[in-house]
Chain A
Amino acid sequence: MQPILEVQEMSQIYGAGCPACFTSTGAQFNTNICPHCGTVVAMQRVSFDLYPGEILGIMGESGSGKSTLVKCLYFDQIPKSGQAIFWDKDKPQDLFQLNPAQQRWLRNHRFGMVYQNPHSGLNFRVSAGGNIAERLLMSDILNYGVIRDRARTLLSRTEVLPERMDELPSNFSGGMQQRVQIARALATDPPLLFLDEVTTGLDLSVQAKILDLILEIQQQLRVAMIVVTHDLGVIRLLTSRTLVMKYGQVVEIGLTDRVLEDPQHAYTQQLVSSAL
């Protein structure tokens, strides 16, 4: 089967960097700060494949490089080294070799992102409908009637009352803001969706609804997703495969059931046992 995304040896550092950075940081050194030059190694030679319609979980404690990973793939950051190939309808696109206009095109037409904080993903100065309109306008849909209809459909699918589409997102509750964000991410029917800690900070009943919504979208639209979370419940419910990160390194990757029931790496064992 053709993967939709192939990530190879992707690394990201914050700081000057030195030749010893990668050999003196990571899980076995229990640090992501290089002792020689003080550089933060946020992500170290991460490789994985993602298949169409699959949900891949990325698990790990805070500071392990989970968010850096999705931010690099969504072009919010430029990784230091590595390669990521996105298969756009059987046409390979080498993400980090594209020019900024091509990157923006992919981001607007093919990717969707839901951030932990709605303030990062939504423009709070324009209405909920306007936020969805922005995505549609970015992908060159310039018909007002079409935009209104599409925004209404998306908001009802994500269970935001369409009557409230012309209100500012600041009038909404946290869960509703998150649903507007998901509607916005889905506006252009992207084949690939990034979810960065989408349920963190929401109360349990709202969390359950959002997770239901994500599963429903995945089943209906066959969207491939990368779900970043430190919540084992979310991993268990949503994902089919899981990648465990610690100090910027991938320490374990496998089927979610296997990772949770029979963790191989000491860190994963600790993570799973502390949650259960």
Chain B
Amino acid sequence: MLQSSLPNIKANLSATDSPENTPTYQFGFLDSFAKKEIRRSLLKAVAIPGYQVPYSSREMPIARGFGTGGLQITLSILGTDDVLKVIDQGSDESVNAVNIRNFIAKTCPGVSLTKHTPEATIVQTRHRIPEFDLKLGQILVLQVPYPDPLVIVEASEAKRKQMHGEGDYARLWVKLYEDMVKFSEITISHRYPTRINGHYVIDPSPIPRFDVPKLHQSPGLHLFGAGREKKIYAVPPFTDAQPLCFEDIPFRVEDFNDRDGKRRPCHRCGSTTSFLDEFLDDQGNCLYQCSDSDYCNTMLMQLQGDNHAANS
């Protein structure tokens, strides 16, 4: 019985392997019911800014924790008239960004891809908000590893939900208090708890502190997807986003100042307003360069254009 069925399986396999029989994916990879559910969750998330909407995160061809939450949102809202940009830590060329871009190119034929932020209608990102300010109509999709900021102070999800519902965030502030006592400085470098529209506190995904003020009253729509934790939340356009802090201690972002208190420029494009990455060159010198590669390239081109104009 078993023996006789084996050749059949083999025959079926070889049949589907041939190019003319390869099943084509539905546009956007996900089936339409999955997309519909995610869109419904997104509507709820936008309607209740900062609230974590549970959804049934689908299996994706990449492992959970590698951006499946963001990817599912992007695939659900993507249409053929969209222009998509995918970045990872500000760069268009890192592994996560390239793979997700290739996957979307394969499963969403007709969607245009770009590396230039102002041209994009949808930007999927990991760990950064682009330097170019979002415009009205642009959507930023963020990949989130840990959606709940309360997880550091409360282990039970049932209790966390109640705390969110009642706006009970005193224990997060106690964490800030302890930081001030021990280090005279709040030590949260990324995933800084941020209060949305005066009620829910969100984990804005591992963006640096530098990017947190960009959420406040931004004209763009920010969608957050946590694939492993099965949660979606949103910061709609023109919504208040206040990082938690004490009344008498203002929120501080990374300043990139050198020892003399002077702001370091990007060694490539010379920008003094962007978020910088620190790395060592072959000679062991410490270099600072824009983390947003598209922004850095644009600034460099402008600089060269200006130089060219000055020389001619």
Q: Indicate if the CB atoms of B248 and A143 lie closer than 8 Å.
A: yes
Number of A-B contacts defined by CB within 8 Å:
49
Residue with the greatest number of chain B CB neighbours at <10 A, chosen from A101, A142, A146: A142
CA distance A143 to B250 in the complex (A): 11
**Chain B interface bracket (under 10, 10 to 19, 20 to 34, 35 or more):** 10 to 19
Q: Please, which residues of chain A bring their CB within 8 A of the CB of B180?
A: 144
Q: Indicate if the CB atoms of A101 and B178 lie closer than 8 Å.
A: no
Q: Indicate if the CB atoms of A144 and B174 lie closer than 8 Å.
A: no
CB-CB nearest in chain B for A103? B166
Q: What is the number of residues of chain A that contact chain B, defined by CB distance less than 8 Å?
A: 19
Please tell me if B181 contacts chain A, counting CB pairs below 8 Å.
yes
> Could you say which of A127, A138, A146 contacts B178, with CB atoms under 8 Å apart?
A127
- Pick from A2-10, A29-37, A81-89, A128-136 the stretch touching chain B: A128-136
Please tell me if B247 contacts chain A, counting CB pairs below 8 Å.
yes
Interface residues of B in 158-175 (CB under 8 A from A): 162, 165-168, 170-171, 173-174
Interface residues of B in 54-69 (CB under 8 A from A): none
Known: A126-B174, A137-B170, A137-B174. A166 touches B181 (CB 8 A): yes
Q: Indicate if the CB atoms of B248 and A130 lie closer than 8 Å.
A: no
Q: Indicate if the CB atoms of B248 and A145 lie closer than 8 Å.
A: yes
Please tell me if B1 contacts chain A, counting CB pairs below 8 Å.
no
Please tell me if B249 contacts chain A, counting CB pairs below 8 Å.
yes
Q: Please, which residues of chain B bring their CB within 8 A of the CB of A146?
A: 248
Q: Mark A99-118, 1 if CB is under 8 A from B, else 0.
A: 01100100000000000000
Please tell me if B33 contacts chain A, counting CB pairs below 8 Å.
no
Q: Please, which residues of chain A bring their CB within 8 A of the CB of B165?
A: 101
Q: Please, which residues of chain A bring their CB within 8 A of the CB of B167?
A: 101
Please tell me if A147 contacts chain B, counting CB pairs below 8 Å.
yes
> Could you say which of B168, B173, B246 contacts A104, with CB atoms under 8 Å apart?
B168
Q: Indicate if the CB atoms of B178 and A142 lie closer than 8 Å.
A: no
Q: Please, which residues of chain B bring their CB within 8 A of the CB of A129?
A: 177, 181
CA distance A133 to B247 in the complex (A): 14
DSSP class of B's interface residues: helix, strand, loop or mixed? Answer: helix
CA distance A100 to B173 in the complex (A): 21
CA distance A104 to B247 in the complex (A): 23
Q: Mark B229-251, 1 if CB is under 8 A from A, else 0.
A: 00000000000000000111100
Interface residues of A in 127-168 (CB under 8 A from B): 127, 129-130, 133-134, 137-138, 142-147, 166
Q: From residue B11, how far is it (CB to closest CB) to chain A in Å?
A: 63
Q: Please, which residues of chain A bring their CB within 8 A of the CB of B173?
A: 133, 137, 142
Q: From residue B187, how far is it (CB to closest CB) to chain A in Å?
A: 15
CA distance A104 to B162 in the complex (A): 11
CA distance A150 to B165 in the complex (A): 29
Known: A104-B168, A137-B170. A126 touches B178 (CB 8 A): yes
Q: Please, which residues of chain A bring their CB within 8 A of the CB of B177?
A: 126, 129-130, 133, 137, 144, 147
Known: A143-B247, A144-B248, A145-B248. A130 touches B174 (CB 8 A): yes
Q: Please, which residues of chain A bring their CB within 8 A of the CB of B166?
A: 100-101, 104
CA distance A123 to B171 in the complex (A): 10
Interface residues of B in 177-200 (CB under 8 A from A): 177-178, 180-182
Q: Indicate if the CB atoms of B181 and A138 lie closer than 8 Å.
A: no
Q: Indicate if the CB atoms of A142 and B246 lie closer than 8 Å.
A: yes
4 closest cross-chain pairs (CB), A and B: A144-B246, A138-B170, A137-B170, A143-B247
Known pairs A126-B177, A126-B178, A130-B181 / 7 extra A-B pairs, C-beta < 8 Å: A100-B166, A129-B181, A134-B170, A134-B174, A143-B246, A147-B246, A166-B182
25 pairs, A vs B, C-beta closer than 8 Å: A100-B166, A101-B166, A101-B167, A104-B166, A104-B168, A123-B174, A126-B177, A127-B181, A129-B177, A130-B178, A130-B181, A133-B173, A134-B170, A134-B171, A137-B177, A138-B170, A142-B173, A143-B247, A143-B248, A144-B246, A144-B247, A144-B249, A145-B248, A147-B246, A166-B181
Q: Which residues of B contact A (CB under 8 A)?
A: 162, 165-168, 170-171, 173-174, 177-178, 180-182, 246-249
Q: Which residues of A contact B (CB under 8 A)?
A: 100-101, 104, 123, 126-127, 129-130, 133-134, 137-138, 142-147, 166
